[in-house]
């Protein structure tokens, strides 16, 4: 189970520590805290975070906007600007980098959390609008559990089960209850080798251990197959 990973780029140590404490309390994982652009570039390359919190006015030859351009060019990771300078010129320069958010100091825990949740939503929307790539193992989405966001990789999912307007997703590491219908999950996962074998079950074709007349076996769990879907299932697995 992977938590949502964040790198903080802030050269004021007390502010950086305060941000880290707030975010860890909200259930996020802090991959690194950096005070300079050069260090941040190294840490972003190393940790591949899900989000960067980035102060605009960093000390040194390069500032936060320079780092934002570098992130867009090489990493394509969403970032949220932090700044105590909200003048029009700064905002105009910042907007050119297409940040996922913009937080003016001093800020509250609610400011941080709401901006991060919006950034996560934007990532989810972008993923849902993007055609699947040939490297499917790198595809993932986030689910919210209590105060935390958990990353689930598609290839770690075994099967999903409908439960009224919720869906239970069973993975190699446990299960997650999602406040979305199985149809919504099916639309998201079908391009990645998933198939609806029953009205209430969606399975990862690569996770099937055995197929019987009325059931299939996944990780020692029997999942029902509807008669209407069995023939199509056999066709699909024959092409894997």
- Edge-to-edge, what's the strand order for the sheet holding 221-224? 210-211, 215-218, 221-224
Give the pLDDT confidence score for residue 4 in this predicted structure.
84
Beta carbons within 10 angstroms of residue 214's beta carbon = 11
The answer to whether the beta carbons of residues 38 and 64 sit under 8 Å apart is no
| Pairing label, strands 157-163, 166-171 | antiparallel
Tens-place pLDDT, residues 150-173: 778 888 999 999 988 889 999 988
Give the pLDDT confidence score for residue 130 in this predicted structure.
43
Cis peptide before 106 (omega within 30 of 0): yes
Q: Look at residue 239 and give its three-state secondary structure.
A: coil
The answer to whether the beta carbons of residues 119 and 80 sit under 8 Å apart is yes
Give the pLDDT confidence score for residue 134 in this predicted structure.
38
Is the whole-model pTM more than 0.75?
no
Give the pLDDT confidence score for residue 83 in this predicted structure.
87
pLDDT by position in tens, the chain (length 240):
467 899 999 999 999 999 999 999 888 899 999 999 999 999 999 999 989 999 998 988 899 999 999 999 998 889 999 988 767 888 888 889 999 988 988 899 988 988 888 887 777 666 554 444 434 445 787 777 666 677 788 889 999 999 888 899 999 888 888 888 899 889 889 989 999 999 999 999 999 999 999 999 999 999 999 988 998 999 888 776
Helical pair 64-74 and 88-95, crossing angle rounded to 10 deg: 10
Tokens 């770690």 belong to residue: 156
pLDDT, averaged across the chain = 86
d(CA 98, CA 100): 7
Tens-place pLDDT, residues 95-135: 899 999 889 888 999 889 888 888 877 776 665 544 444 34
Q: Which of 200, 194, 230 is nearest to 213 (CA)?
A: 230
Give the pLDDT confidence score for residue 131 in this predicted structure.
42
């Amino acid at each position: 189970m992977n938590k949502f990973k964040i790198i903080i780029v802030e050269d004021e140590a007390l502010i950086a520590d305060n941000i880290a404490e707030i975010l860890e309390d909200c259930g996020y994982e802090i991959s690194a805290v950096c005070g300079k652009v050069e260090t941040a570039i190294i840490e972003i390359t190393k940790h591949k975070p899900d989000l960067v919190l980035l102060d605009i006015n960093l000390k040194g030859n390069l500032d936060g906007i320079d780092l934002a351009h570098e992130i867009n060019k090489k990493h394509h990771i969403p970032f949220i600007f932090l700044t105590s300078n909200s003048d029009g010129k700064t905002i105009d320069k910042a907007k050119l980098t297409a940040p996922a958010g913009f937080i003016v100091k001093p800020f509250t825990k609610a400011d941080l959390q709401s901006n991060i949740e919006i950034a996560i939503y934007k990532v989810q929307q972008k993923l849902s609008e993007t055609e699947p790539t040939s490297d499917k193992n790198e595809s993932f989405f986030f689910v919210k559990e209590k105060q935390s966001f958990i990353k689930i990789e598609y290839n770690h999912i075994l099967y999903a089960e409908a439960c009224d307007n919720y869906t239970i997703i069973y993975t190699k590491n446990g299960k997650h209850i999602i406040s979305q219908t199985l149809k919504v999950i099916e639309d998201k996962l079908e391009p990645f080798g998933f198939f609806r074998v029953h009205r209430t079950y969606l399975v990862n074709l690569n996770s099937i251990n055995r197929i019987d007349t009325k059931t299939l076996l996944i990780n020692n769990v029997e999942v029902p197959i509807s008669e209407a879907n069995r023939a199509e299932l056999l066709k699909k697995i024959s092409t894997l």
